[in-house]
Amino acid sequence: MADPSALSIFVSGMTGLVGALVGAVATTIQQRKTDERKLKHERQRESDRLQHKAEVLRAILRSELRNLIGTFRGEKNFVSDRRNEYTWVPTIGYFKEMSKNISSLGILSHSEAERVMDAYYTYCEHVWYILKNSS
């Protein structure tokens, strides 16, 4: 027959071992849930940051384009209303923000990036034509 004190030591040891294993498993499960929540929060924060950056970039680009359009309209009206034979057309100074943020155009939608690039290349073509024919 086994010694009762040895049996109680064995039972208490096994109970402690099972308790430690259950605690380790519970801690692992809780840590995984915590990591998942942290990752979800970080992804949401990054998504919000990119959305904000895209909104700011849109505002900057719209402002540059509105300014350019206003300048060209003003010069067109100046020439047509007063029948002047000259005009001043800006050839530099526009699209500075677009140039600085060219690497960020990828955060815009496809159609937005396409429209910005179309406007930029159209402007460059017109400026090239003006400069070529001004001399």
- 76 is in which domain, residue-wise? 4-133
Query: pTM to 2 decimals?
Result: 0.61
pLDDT tens digits, one per residue of 28-83? 999 999 999 999 999 999 999 999 988 998 888 888 888 888 887 887 777 776 66
Which residue shows structure tokens 């526009």?
94
| Inter-residue contact 84 to 78 (CB < 8 Å) | yes
Residue 133 clears pLDDT 60, i.e. is over it: yes
**pLDDT, tens only, 99-108:** 788 888 888 8
The total of structural domains in the chain comes to: 1
What is the residue whose two structure tokens read 């179309």? 118
